[in-house]
């Protein structure tokens, strides 16, 4: 087994030359501790040297990261994973390029954090390497219910309240690759709500399924969140949050037996909700056609590119969450108790990804007291990094607010 002392770096950023990789490198260069021993890695020395020149202009007094050159070959990746305590990977599509690295990290006892949004990749990695990984804001609301109300959590609804951002060439290429490789039926099965969880739920109250109004017309209103529509990232995020539920069950941080998580996007009103519903399904049907995907890849940004960094500084991302207290099937209080949370990041969603990756890496290598550390490893979710992670995200410019609320039934349709 490789020991800590054998490893040259604490953190190695694999894919540093890509769109998300550069953003993550800039964030580490600006915000992570000055004594962090880190490296940027990729296959192209010139690109990495030019990235280091850029980093120097941004922060002239900070020591530059080491440069490491590797090819996407098993023997190279084996050396890579033995040289560092933790790998951050932004090399995608992950289904094409991620599996060997993931397996070698598991084999060599190297921590691993990535930017994937590809659930088939996550599913395959869990099957092959056990357990699970990824991010969401619900840890705050859930832990708030436990602390303030001394009760577990039942239904949680998260909505993208507002967002300004775009999609990089690398992200589009990952989406296209998933649709090229899997049929709708396979993708549906991969996205089942508990497909990544180490255990299945046994709720004390049956979990309500969506009403016909939601299924047919997308008409959903939730107090504190507003009118809502379906969000295409929802199935992967749901499977990951439910995996956190499974990982934390039986620990002091447990979410509760009837925990059930849903993600939406906020819309202006009922007419917008119906319009969104039919537009989204039509676009999904179009995207399922191979020629449409081919055309999109020709007219959109190519991998490695996206909107220029100086044009996205004024973008933003805001999530809102309602987490209902689980008061059990028999003892119903007069009013439903819940926590309401808001997460806002006043810059581009790709910068948000950079913050989440870098801060998770810092906590994993620099601390040893999180739930993730106590679980002792495996494929975990970022939520298992707990309060330290929330505090680190705040330091990284993410605003997170949680408050208690009381009211009538929160879900209306």
Ligand X SMILES: NC(=O)c1ccc[n+]([C@@H]2O[C@H](COP(=O)([O-])OP(=O)(O)OC[C@H]3O[C@@H](n4cnc5c(N)ncnc54)[C@H](OP(=O)(O)O)[C@@H]3O)[C@@H](O)[C@H]2O)c1
Binding site residues, ligand X, CB under 6 A: 15, 17-21, 42-44, 47, 72, 90-94, 97, 115-117, 168-171, 174, 303-304, 306, 350, 353
Q: Which helix (DSSP H) or strand (DSSP E) does residue 333 occupy? A: none
Contact 219, 273 (CB under 8 A): yes
Q: Which is nearer to ligand X, 32 or 41 (by Cβ)?
A: 41
Write the CA distances from 160 to 225, 244, 336, 344, 390, integer angstroms: 9, 20, 23, 10, 18
Write the CA distances from 393 to 322, 358, 359, 378, 384, integer angstroms: 20, 10, 7, 23, 14
* Best CA proximity match to 159, nearest among 139, 137, 127: 137
From the CB of 12, what's the least distance to ligand X, in Å?
13
What contacts 303, CB < 8 A, 6 or more positions away?
Answer: 18, 169, 170, 173
Contact 381, 247 (CB under 8 A): yes
Q: Which is nearer to ligand X, 114 or 326 (by Cβ)?
A: 114
What contacts 286, CB < 8 A, 6 or more positions away?
Answer: 292
From the CB of 173, what's the least distance to ligand X, in Å?
7
From the CB of 207, what's the least distance to ligand X, in Å?
27
Q: Which is nearer to ligand X, 190 or 214 (by Cβ)?
A: 190
User: What is residue 385's DSSP assignment?
Assistant: G
* Best CA proximity match to 261, nearest among 166, 162, 376, 134: 134
From the CB of 19, what's the least distance to ligand X, in Å?
3
From the CB of 325, what's the least distance to ligand X, in Å?
30
Q: Which residue is nearest to ligand X (CB)?
A: 170
Write the CA distances from 322 to 150, 272, 328, 390, integer angstroms: 17, 22, 18, 17
Q: Which is nearer to ligand X, 222 or 393 (by Cβ)?
A: 393
Q: Which is nearer to ligand X, 245 or 350 (by Cβ)?
A: 350
From the CB of 248, what's the least distance to ligand X, in Å?
22
From the CB of 296, what's the least distance to ligand X, in Å?
14
Contacts by 325-334, CB closer than 8 A, 24 or more apart: 325/145, 325/149, 325/151, 325/152, 325/153, 325/154, 326/151, 326/152, 326/153, 326/154, 326/204, 326/256, 326/257, 326/258, 326/259, 327/151, 328/204, 329/204, 329/205
* Best CA proximity match to 291, nearest among 183, 179, 182: 179
Q: Which is nearer to ligand X, 201 or 354 (by Cβ)?
A: 354
Q: Which is nearer to ligand X, 21 or 256 (by Cβ)?
A: 21
Q: Rounded to the nearest 5 degrees, what angle is found at the Cα of 182, between the Cα atoms of 179 and 185?
A: 110
Cα of first residue to Cα of last residue in the chain, in angstroms, is: 56
Q: Which is nearer to ligand X, 325 or 360 (by Cβ)?
A: 360
The strand ranges marked E within 118-218 are: 153-164
From the CB of 42, what's the least distance to ligand X, in Å?
5
Q: Which is nearer to ligand X, 93 or 218 (by Cβ)?
A: 93
Q: Which is nearer to ligand X, 164 or 199 (by Cβ)?
A: 164
Residues paired with residue 113 on neighbouring β-strands, in sequence order: 88
From the CB of 348, what's the least distance to ligand X, in Å?
10
Contact 108, 357 (CB under 8 A): no
Structure token digits, residue 201 = 């739920």
From the CB of 145, what's the least distance to ligand X, in Å?
26
From the CB of 312, what's the least distance to ligand X, in Å?
12
Q: Which is nearer to ligand X, 24 or 388 (by Cβ)?
A: 24
């Amino acid at each position: 087994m490789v020991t800590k002392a054998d490893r040259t770096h604490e953190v190695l950023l694999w894919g540093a030359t890509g769109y998300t990789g550069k953003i993550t490198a800039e964030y580490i260069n600006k915000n992570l501790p000055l004594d962090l021993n880190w490296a940027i890695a990729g296959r192209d020395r010139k690109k990495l040297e030019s990235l280091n020149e850029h980093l120097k202009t941004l922060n002239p007094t900070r020591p530059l990261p080491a440069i490491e050159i590797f090819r996407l070959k098993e023997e190279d990746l084996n050396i890579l994973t033995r040289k560092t305590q933790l790998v951050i990977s932004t090399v995608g599509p992950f289904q094409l390029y991620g599996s060997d690295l993931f397996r070698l990290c598991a084999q060599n006892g190297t921590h691993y954090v990535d930017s994937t949004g590809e659930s088939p990749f996550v599913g395959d990695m869990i099957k092959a390497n056990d357990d699970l990984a990824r991010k969401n804001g619900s840890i705050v609301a859930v832990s708030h219910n436990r602390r303030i109300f001394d009760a577990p959590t039942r239904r949680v609804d998260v909505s993208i309240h507002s967002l300004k951002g775009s999609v990089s060439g690398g992200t589009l290429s990952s989406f296209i690759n998933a649709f090229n490789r899997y049929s709708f039926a396979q993708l549906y099965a991969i996205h089942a709500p508990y497909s990544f969880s180490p255990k299945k739920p046994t709720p004390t109250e049956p979990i309500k399924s969506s009403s016909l109004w939601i299924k047919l017309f997308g008409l959903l209103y939730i107090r504190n969140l507003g009118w809502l529509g379906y969000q295409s990232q929802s199935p992967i995020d749901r499977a990951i949050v439910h995996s956190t539920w499974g990982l934390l069950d039986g620990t002091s941080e447990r979410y509760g037996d009837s925990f059930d998580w849903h993600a939406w996007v906020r819309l202006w009103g009922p007419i917008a909700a119906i319009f969104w519903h039919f537009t989204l399904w039509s676009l999904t049907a179009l995207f399922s056609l191979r020629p449409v995907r081919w055309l999109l890849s020709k007219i959109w940004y190519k991998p490695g590119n996206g909107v220029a960094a100086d044009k996205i500084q004024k973008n933003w991302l805001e999530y809102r969450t309602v987490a209902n207290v689980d008061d059990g099937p028999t003892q119903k209080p007069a009013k439903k108790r819940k926590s309401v949370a808001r997460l806002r990041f006043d810059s581009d969603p790709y910068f948000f990804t950079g913050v989440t990756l870098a801060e998770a890496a810092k906590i994993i290598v620099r601390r040893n007291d999180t739930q993730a550390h106590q679980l002792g490893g495996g494929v975990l979710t970022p939520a298992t990094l707990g309060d330290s992670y929330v505090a680190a995200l705040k330091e990284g410019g993410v605003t997170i607010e949680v408050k208690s609320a009381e009211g009538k039934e929160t879900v209306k349709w």
